[in-house]
Amino acid sequence: MKPKFKRTYFAFPYALLCVLFVVVPLIIMLVFACTDFEGNFTLNNFGYFFTESETQIVLLKSVGTALLATVICFLLAYPLAYILASSPFNKTAILVMLFIIPMWINSLLRIYATRTFFEMIGIERGYLAVVIGLVYDFLPFMLLPIYTSLNNMDKSFLEASYDLGANPITSFLKVTFPLSMPGVVSGILMVFMPAISTIGITEMLGNKDVYLFGNLINDYLGEFYTWNIGAAYSFIMLILIAVSMLVANRFGDKESNVRGGTI
The predicted-structure confidence for 105-119, as pLDDT tens digits, reads as follows 778 888 888 899 998
Assigned domain for 197 exists? yes
Angstrom distance (rounded) from CA 141 to CA 217: 25
pLDDT for 88:
67
pTM for the whole structure: 0.82
Assigned domain for 112 exists? yes
Contact at 8 Å (CB) between 126 and 207? Answer: yes
DSSP per-residue codes, 65-86: HHHHHHHHHHHHHHHHHHHHHH
- Residue 175's domain comprises 64-212
pLDDT for 69:
94
Assigned domain for 129 exists? yes
Report long-range pairs for 227-232 (Cβ below 8 Å, ≥24 apart): 227/32, 228/32, 228/33, 228/35, 228/36, 228/37, 228/45, 229/45, 229/48, 231/29, 231/30, 231/32, 231/33, 231/45, 232/32, 232/33, 232/34, 232/45, 232/46, 232/48, 232/49
Angstrom distance (rounded) from CA 107 to CA 132: 14
Assigned domain for 111 exists? yes
The continuous run of DSSP H or E covering 170 comes out as: helix 168-171
CATH code for the domain in which residue 82 is found? 1.10.3720.10
pLDDT in tens, 185-196: 889 988 988 888
Assigned domain for 220 exists? no
Angstrom distance (rounded) from CA 86 to CA 174: 17
Assigned domain for 89 exists? yes
pLDDT in tens, 112-163: 888 999 989 988 888 999 999 999 989 988 998 998 888 888 778 877 887 7
Contact at 8 Å (CB) between 70 and 191? Answer: yes
Assigned domain for 32 exists? no
Could you give the number of structural domains in the chain? 1
Low-confidence ranges of the chain (pLDDT < 70): 1-5, 88-93, 251-263
Assigned domain for 117 exists? yes
With a CB cutoff of 8 Å and minimum separation 6, the contacts of 140 are 99, 100, 102, 103
